[in-house]
């Protein structure tokens, strides 16, 4: 009589939700090519986005529709901080009140994976949109906003980070 052996195989399955819209803007599809299911799903999502882009119109928000309290801010400087542990590059913007130049606020406007920044150009539209989103709720004039964007461009150029202006 031979002993009966059984082998049990356990398969763990996780449902993962990915903000594919952010990945599309960062153009990281090629980094996911070794993960075929994620890669194929992302490509399908990109095709859906591209086919629906003509139908989508971004709603315009009137500045007068939003009541923002607090002092108006102006730009002091922009820094890039690279975190080796997190493997991220952050864009930190120091702003201060127009009325009180000792009232500083440091804001992290952008964060990109170091690998992405070194391997490909970052979309200018993404930089502009993320900056706009992360300054929402603060009094920042159009001129100051444009100055922030220009300084981010300058810091990226100094660090050798490419920007895609397509």
Tokens found for residue 30:
């090629």
Of 138 and 36, which is predicted with more confidence?
Answer: 138
Of 65 and 102, which is predicted with more confidence?
Answer: 102
Report pLDDT digits (tens) over 87-141: 899 999 999 988 887 888 899 999 999 888 888 999 999 999 999 999 988 889 9
Cα dist. 59→22, 55, 62, 131 in Å? Answer: 19, 12, 10, 18
Mean pLDDT for 15-20 is 64
N-to-C CA span, the chain: 74
Long-range contacts of 25-29 (CB under 8 A, 24+ apart): 25/123, 25/125, 25/126, 26/112, 26/116, 26/120, 26/122, 26/123, 26/126, 27/120, 27/123, 28/116, 28/120
Cα dist. 158→86, 128, 155 in Å? Answer: 22, 18, 5
Beta strands in the chain (DSSP E): 72-83, 88-97, 104-113, 122-123, 139-140, 163-164
Report pLDDT digits (tens) over 40-54: 776 676 666 666 654
What is residue 86's DSSP assignment? Answer: T
Report pLDDT digits (tens) over 105-116: 899 999 999 888
What is the per-residue pLDDT for 102? 83
What is the per-residue pLDDT for 71? 82
């Amino acid at each position: 009589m031979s002993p009966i052996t059984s082998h049990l195989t356990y398969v763990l399955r996780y449902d993962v939700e990915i903000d594919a819209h952010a990945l599309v803007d960062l153009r990281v599809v090629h980094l996911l090519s070794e993960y075929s299911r994620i890669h194929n799903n992302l490509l399908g999502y990109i095709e859906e986005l591209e086919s629906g882009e003509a139908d989508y119109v971004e709603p315009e928000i009137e500045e007068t529709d939003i009541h923002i309290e607090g002092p108006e801010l102006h730009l002091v400087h922009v820094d890039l901080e690279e975190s080796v542990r997190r493997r991220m590059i952050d864009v930190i913007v120091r702003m201060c009140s127009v009325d009180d130049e000792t009232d500083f606020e440091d804001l992290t406007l952008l964060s990109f994976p170091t690998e992405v920044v070194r391997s490909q150009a970052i979309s200018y539209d993404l930089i502009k949109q993320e900056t706009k989103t992360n300054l929402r709720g603060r009094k920042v004039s159009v001129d100051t906003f444009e100055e922030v964007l220009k300084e981010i461009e300058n810091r990226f150029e100094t660090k050798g980070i490419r920007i895609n202006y397509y």
